Structure formats: C-alpha cells, structure tokens
C-alpha cells in the first residue's frame, strides 16, 4: 500500500491531546502489514513548544525543512487565539499543496485566518463556533457535528473529536478492519459518525431554574415513549400549554418539541448501539411509534437510516 506522510504543526499554546490523539491513531495503524504513515511534527523554527497544559513537545524539524506531506494536520489550543504571523504565512503558502488538510479543535481558526476555509463547510470546538462564524463570514460553520469532511478538507470539533476524525481517515485509507482494531487498542469506539452532535440534548439545553420545569426535563429523558405533547407536559407542570411552552424555551433555550426530538433520537441511537432489539421495538421504546417515523427522524438529523447506523456502529452485533 502507498505510504502516506502526516505532518503535525506545533506551536506554543497547542492543545497536547489535539496532537497526541491523532498521532496515536496513525501510529497504531502503521503496525499493520502494508500500512505506513510517516509521522512528523514541526514547529516554526524546530524548537520545542510548550502546550496549554505545560507539557513540552519536541518537534522533529522546522516547518521550513519539512517535506511536503500528504496530510497536513493543524491542532488547536490557546496558541490559536493570537498566532504568530509567520505561522499563518507558512500555512497560507504550504497548506494548499497538501493532498489532505486537517484541523482539530481551534486549529480551524488558524486555517480560517489564511483564507483557505472560505467557501467551505467546517466545524470546530463548540465554544468557538460563533467566534469563527462572526470573524470569518465567508466560512460556513456547522456547530453540531464532531467532524466535517468537505472535499480534501477535514475539520473536527474539540479535543477527542480529533481521534474520531483520525480513525475515519484511517478507515478511508486502509479499510474498516484496520480502523476498528486501532480503536480497540485505544479503548475507544469506532461508532461516532462525523454528523454525531457534539452534545446531547441534556447538555445542549440549559437546565431550567424552576423546579417544575426541571422535573419535566427529567421526565422527558426517563419516559421517551410517553405522551410528550406540549399539552401533556404542561398539565404535568401545572401550567397552561401556552405558558409552559414559553417558559420552557425561555429557561432551556429550546422548544419542548425540539427537546423531545433530541431525547428520542439519543434514546434510539443508544438502543441501536447497545442492544440487539429490532428496529420496530426500538421505534416503540424511543417514542417514534413506527419504524418509518424513526427512519425519517434519523435521515433528517443524521443523514442515515437506523439500519445503516447500527451496521456502522455495531458491526459485530447488528440485529436483523
């Protein structure tokens, strides 16, 4: 198989996991016969850099001396907030020549500064999606997925999402079995698609301040197959439907319907991943009622049908 070179850019204030996570994935894949990733790290002048956690990372070379890579990986970290102009200049001049350009976490901010993300769909750490979109309006920022592929460009969300993206790249290069084995060795799951949301419904939504509304949030999570209409939830909270809907959105930042949709989707995904229950039973248990209703929800939210979702994320335990 063709050897692929991977160059990881280092700078002061880099997030160490953005570097070591993907590197461990590529290094693990290289233990397979016929699979070779030539890994290099480089800083502007070849000098050691200090990560955000205080770890010192020693690069292999200076960026000016690094040969053109197949895959150029740009990690994130606090050092992306006020980057050295020379680093931006190097990226602007060399990144377009890489066969595959990858950013992890806020590494997308460095690439956006070069103009190379203009017109592309990208993601980054959830806390910086708004900043990226406001500062670089020519970039199409999607805040939800854990990673996004747009042609030869690949961007991931925060920190450990870089591992998910690297596993996806290994699968693309060398097949699913190699990526699965690497994932097992790293004790992670090869089952998070790029379009999986960065947060669950409970984390995306704020926790309501008032106890009746907090109780409703818990009730929804614990009873996804129940009657979760606005009228039923309002009655449980002791409020009129109109007052309940307005209060729920004001305190959680999400309409009751959207919150219910997310909880049901998460429950269905969990059951597909962790059980051998049939699709019809899962549709009932998660509140969709019918397999067709669940299929429509999956296609709309994740871009894939439940059966395909299960095949990808439970390859050795899929139910018929």
Question: Any idea what the CATH number is for the domain that residue 318 is in?
Answer: 1.10.10.60
- Specify the pLDDT at position 197: 55
Report angle CA 213, 216, 221 to the nearest 5 degrees: 135
Q: Computed from CA positions of residues 118, 107, 303, 71, in that sequence, does the dihedral angle turn out positive or negative?
A: positive
Instruction: Determine the 3-state secondary structure of 156 from DSSP.
Output: strand
| pTM exceeds 0.75 | no
Let me know if residue 107 belongs to a domain: yes
**34 & 95 share domain:** yes
Mean predicted confidence (pLDDT) in 177-200? 68
**160 & 210 share domain:** no
Let me know if residue 78 belongs to a domain: yes
At residue 315, what are phi and psi to the nearest 5 degrees?
A: -60, -30
**31 & 135 share domain:** yes
**142 & 239 share domain:** no
- Specify the pLDDT at position 180: 83
pLDDT at 192 over 90: no
Contact 55, 16 (CB under 8 A): yes
pLDDT at 50 over 90: yes
Instruction: Determine the 3-state secondary structure of 135 from DSSP.
Output: helix
Question: Any idea what the CATH number is for the domain that residue 64 is in?
Answer: 3.40.50.880
Beta bridge partners of 186: none
Let me know if residue 195 belongs to a domain: no
Would you place residue 205 in the very low, low, confident or very high pLDDT band (cuts 50, 70, 90)? low
Catalytic residues: 105
Let me know if residue 68 belongs to a domain: yes
Distance CA(184)–CA(163), nearest Å, equals 12
Let me know if residue 192 belongs to a domain: no
Q: Percent of the chain scored above 90 by pLDDT?
A: 71
pLDDT at 318 over 50: no
- Specify the pLDDT at position 124: 95
Determine how many CB atoms are found less than 10 A away from the CB of residue 45.
Answer: 11
**19 & 150 share domain:** yes
Let me know if residue 193 belongs to a domain: no
- Specify the pLDDT at position 202: 53
The more confidently predicted of residues 21 and 301 is 21
Last residue of some domain: 155, 185, 215? 185
Q: Which two tokens stand for residue 243?
A: 């007052």
**39 & 171 share domain:** yes
Count CA atoms within 13 Å of residue 288 on its CB side: 25
At residue 317, what are phi and psi to the nearest 5 degrees?
A: -135, 20
**98 & 134 share domain:** yes
pLDDT at 298 over 50: yes
**pLDDT tens string 226-262:** 999 999 999 999 999 999 999 999 988 889 999 999 8
Q: Which domain holds residue 70?
A: 4-185
The more confidently predicted of residues 130 and 189 is 130
**161 & 43 share domain:** yes
**175 & 265 share domain:** no
Let me know if residue 215 belongs to a domain: yes
Instruction: Determine the 3-state secondary structure of 14 from DSSP.
Output: coil
**146 & 246 share domain:** no
**171 & 208 share domain:** no
**161 & 307 share domain:** no
What's the CA dihedral at 256, 257, 263, 269 to 10 degrees?
Answer: -170
Least confident segment among 70-84, 145-159, 185-199, 223-237: 185-199
Let me know if residue 194 belongs to a domain: no
Instruction: Determine the 3-state secondary structure of 40 from DSSP.
Output: strand
Instruction: Determine the 3-state secondary structure of 44 from DSSP.
Output: coil
Last residue of some domain: 160, 185, 210? 185
What's the domain count of the chain? 2
Average pLDDT, the chain: 89
- Specify the pLDDT at position 121: 95
Count CA atoms within 13 Å of residue 129 on its CB side: 20
Q: Which two tokens stand for residue 240?
A: 């009129």
């Amino acid at each position: 198989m063709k050897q692929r070179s991977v160059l990881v850019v280092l700078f002061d204030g880099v997030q160490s996991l953005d570097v070591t996570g993907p590197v461990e994935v590529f290094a693990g894949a290289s233990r397979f016969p016929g699979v070779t990733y030539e890994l290099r790290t480089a800083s502007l002048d070849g000098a050691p850099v200090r990560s955000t956690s205080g770890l010192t990372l020693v690069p292999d070379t200076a960026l000016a001396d690094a040969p053109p890579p197949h895959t150029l990986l740009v990690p994130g970290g606090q050092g992306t907030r006020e980057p050295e102009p020379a680093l931006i200049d190097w990226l602007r001049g060399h990144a377009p020549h890489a066969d595959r350009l990858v950013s992890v976490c806020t590494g997308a901010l460095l690439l956006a500064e070069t103009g190379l993300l203009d017109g592309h769909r990208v993601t980054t750490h959830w806390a910086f999606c708004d900043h990226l979109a406001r500062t670089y309006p020519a970039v199409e920022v999607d805040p939800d997925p854990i990673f996004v592929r747009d042609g030869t460009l690949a961007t991931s969300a925060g920190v450990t999402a870089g591992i998910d993206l690297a596993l996806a790249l290994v699968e693309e290069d060398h097949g699913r079995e190699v990526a699965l084995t690497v994932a097992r060795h790293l004790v992670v799951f090869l089952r998070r698609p790029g379009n999986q949301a960065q947060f669950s419904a409970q984390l995306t939504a704020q926790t309501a301040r008032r106890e009746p509304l907090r109780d409703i949030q818990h009730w929804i999570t614990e009873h996804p197959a129940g009657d979760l209409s606005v009228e039923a939830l309002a009655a449980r909270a002791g409020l009129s439907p109109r007052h309940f809907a307005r209060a729920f959105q004001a305190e959680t930042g999400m309409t009751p319907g959207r919150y219910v949709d997310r909880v049901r989707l998460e429950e269905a995904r969990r059951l597909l991943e962790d059980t051998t229950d049939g699709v019809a039973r899962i549709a009932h248990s998660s509140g969709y009622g019918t397999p067709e209703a669940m299929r429509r929800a999956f296609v709309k939210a994740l871009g894939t049908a439940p059966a395909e979702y299960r095949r990808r994320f439970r390859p050795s335990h899929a139910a018929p």
